[in-house]
A and B are shown apart, each in its own frame.
Chain A
């Protein structure tokens, strides 16, 4: 690794740290406004109770549970993308692991708030610990989510340590106050000695292995929240793997959008290249195909028998009142995006991004189509429920969606957007890609050997 390449990595990964421009502020202000409206809606709900929502006696779970599953799923995709790429030693991962791991943390922080938003008595939240019942899926949930939260923060933090040391050294005394102090303290005296490198490598390896079962367990217990009931469309043995796959699918799609966003905004075109989008598109394609397979397996086995409780739900999904939403999801949110990324041709990045938007929207819709018809279906076989979310639920949802890019922007205001250390470690990242005219392309000859 020659000094010039190192300089380039440091420059590109860190030039946005502590810097804001007009564009940064405009975007941050818009996102903050959305988050503020959501926060206001939550306060409004805290003061008045869940009566301000569209939830009712029949459909007692709605947007909040959907969003909880949705955001934790996205987090999972971020973590698993990074973990799998690390474990398979995919060298192209280096410029995107930081963004994926950061997304895992931010999305999880947002998703983990939702169970609280959904509680009728959030003031009694501590009862969950004081009277914890091992047999309750809700207990499984908070145990799994909090374990995974700690793990995903560690998973984000460990590879960050050498970069924090770089921050410490690069910014030196130029950064005062909390930020400078954080770099010094959090870098744990990293000097890059062989002993430190060995320890770190082992730590990251352990976390990359650990995070997979942890993330699988989180999404499995979220699925069991539904699957352990007798409701039609919920009581399904395939639910846990289906949820895990759905999480990975929506998560990888979000990773694609996040790296596209930061690539454009931070000028990372020469590191995050078409190749990354192509590979992630393959991942999206594989996961999406798997999801279709699981879904067909679920609907075929249930639809063939048409039990008393599942029959009405399937009918509502395929031809009934939920059919427009279902077919929008199946065709527009699953099939179309997979076709988009599967076909060879021009504009791979644009196609990957469009497909990702469709997949993310589709997966939210799918969670809606799991939660709401399962709730609304007639258990006593003669009354369907209806669910019409109010502005409170919509505002909180919009606020939480905005919180993800905002959280990432703040995160990468403090931390390097790419892992300098990792890019130096891993060969092959330095293949320069053609970038837009007017942007200097420094030579990267000899890069790659550490």
Chain B
């Protein structure tokens, strides 16, 4: 039903329909210590965000598998993890959890060597050449989004060039890795692996600056889409400022 190739390149056209007014992204602090940045051509200003429509998610975990294949991760590395949630009324729904790329990221603050940093596009990256493996960030992350390479990671058949924070493949043993919204794809106008793999079209990658988001088939105006569907951020009260928005309504307990 979906043509993968065409979906993948949808993002390149992002923004053409975006409106100037409307959603004003929050101000972002600049990236911290000097770090390698992406080498691709001059980029537009992006502030990546994700929308997860839990009404559509059927818990197939194709996103998890696609992520693991893309980044050559072992099976217990669920950079996007699909939780099966049973609410108080006994109803079940699924909640995929990527890294939330928090604007006020606890993991970033506690890193003793600035191996974790925020890139210009708002994505929190890990420089695995610098990480000392103290796992303070894992203690600090409220969402369990970080994964430590206790053992040697799987090596791709055709090894890639030197791993970068944007495309940390292969992972380095003894260091921490996590989801980075597939900036190695999005920078080139492609969809993140999980978004592309989602048959249910439940995952949207978006840009807060241009105020658009797409699941590869449908492109929406991000702020309006969030407002009209009563989107929320997980554990907003922690004030971490996640860049991932959830749309509830799959039968889960909304507290009333």
B is bound to A: yes
Query: Which residues on A are within 8 Å of B, measured CB to CB?
Result: 49-51, 53, 55-58, 60-61, 115, 118-122, 124-125, 127-128, 130-133, 135-139, 142, 225-226, 228-231, 375, 379-380, 382-383
Task: Check B86 against A133 for contact (C-beta < 8 Å).
Answer: no
**Most chain-A Cβ atoms within 10 A of its Cβ — which of B95, B97, B111?**
B111
The answer to whether A138 and B139 touch (CB under 8 A), given A57-B76, A120-B148, A121-B175, is: no
- Contacts A226-B139, A379-B144 aside, 17 further interface pairs with beta carbons under 8 A come to A49-B151, A55-B148, A57-B77, A57-B138, A57-B148, A120-B133, A120-B175, A120-B176, A121-B133, A127-B113, A131-B112, A133-B111, A133-B114, A139-B112, A228-B110, A229-B139, A230-B140
Contact of B106 among A50, A130, A230 (CB under 8 A): A230
The answer to whether A131 and B109 touch (CB under 8 A), given A121-B132, A229-B139, A382-B83, is: no
The answer to whether A230 and B142 touch (CB under 8 A), given A119-B132, A131-B130, is: yes
A130 to B127, CA, bound (A): 15
* Chain A positions within 8 Å of B136 at CB level: 136-138, 225
The answer to whether A56 and B150 touch (CB under 8 A), given A121-B174, A136-B110, A229-B139, is: yes
Within 8 A of A (CB), among B194-245: 238
- 7 sampled A-B residue pairs with Cβ under 8 A: A50-B174, A119-B174, A125-B132, A127-B115, A133-B113, A137-B136, A138-B111
For residue B28, CB closer than 8 A to chain A, the reply is no
Within 8 A of A (CB), among B99-154: 106, 109-115, 130-136, 138-144, 147-152
* Chain B positions within 8 Å of A124 at CB level: 113, 130-133
The 8 tightest CB contacts between A and B, nearest first, are: A120-B133, A120-B174, A138-B112, A51-B150, A51-B151, A136-B112, A131-B113, A121-B174
B176's closest neighbor in chain A, by CB?
A120
Task: Check A61 against B135 for contact (C-beta < 8 Å).
Answer: yes
Task: Check A55 against B150 for contact (C-beta < 8 Å).
Answer: yes
A309's closest neighbor in chain B, by CB?
B142
Query: Which residues on B are within 8 Å of A, measured CB to CB?
Result: 33, 76-77, 83-86, 95, 97, 106, 109-115, 130-136, 138-144, 147-152, 173-176, 238
Task: Check A383 against B83 for contact (C-beta < 8 Å).
Answer: yes
A382 to B143, CA, bound (A): 11
* Chain B positions within 8 Å of A135 at CB level: 109-110
**Most chain-A Cβ atoms within 10 A of its Cβ — which of B115, B134, B136?**
B134
**Most chain-B Cβ atoms within 10 A of its Cβ — which of A124, A226, A228?**
A124
* Chain B positions within 8 Å of A56 at CB level: 150
Return B103 CB to nearest CB of chain A, in Å.
15
* Chain B positions within 8 Å of A121 at CB level: 131-133, 174-175
**Secondary structure type dominating chain B contacts:** loop
**Secondary structure type dominating chain A contacts:** loop
Task: Check B134 against A230 for contact (C-beta < 8 Å).
Answer: no
Return A130 CB to nearest CB of chain B, in Å.
8
The answer to whether A379 and B139 touch (CB under 8 A), given A51-B151, A120-B132, A131-B114, is: no
Task: Check A50 against B148 for contact (C-beta < 8 Å).
Answer: yes
B133's closest neighbor in chain A, by CB?
A120
A130 to B112, CA, bound (A): 10
A139 to B114, CA, bound (A): 11
* Chain A positions within 8 Å of B138 at CB level: 57, 60
A61 to B141, CA, bound (A): 13
Return A55 CB to nearest CB of chain B, in Å.
7
* Chain A positions within 8 Å of B151 at CB level: 49, 51
Contact of B113 among A132, A226, A228, A229 (CB under 8 A): A132
Return A66 CB to nearest CB of chain B, in Å.
13
A121 to B132, CA, bound (A): 5
Task: Check A127 against B139 for contact (C-beta < 8 Å).
Answer: no
Task: Check A60 against B111 for contact (C-beta < 8 Å).
Answer: no
* Chain A positions within 8 Å of B131 at CB level: 120-121, 124
Contact of A118 among B97, B115, B134, B238 (CB under 8 A): B134
The answer to whether A57 and B112 touch (CB under 8 A), given A127-B132, A225-B136, is: no
* Chain A positions within 8 Å of B238 at CB level: 230
A60 to B76, CA, bound (A): 14
A122 to B175, CA, bound (A): 11
The answer to whether A50 and B144 touch (CB under 8 A), given A128-B132, A380-B83, is: no
Contact of A137 among B84, B110, B147, B149 (CB under 8 A): B110
Task: Check A375 against B139 for contact (C-beta < 8 Å).
Answer: yes
A137 to B112, CA, bound (A): 7
* Chain A positions within 8 Å of B114 at CB level: 131, 133
The answer to whether A229 and B106 touch (CB under 8 A), given A50-B150, A57-B76, A121-B132, is: yes
Task: Check A379 against B110 for contact (C-beta < 8 Å).
Answer: no
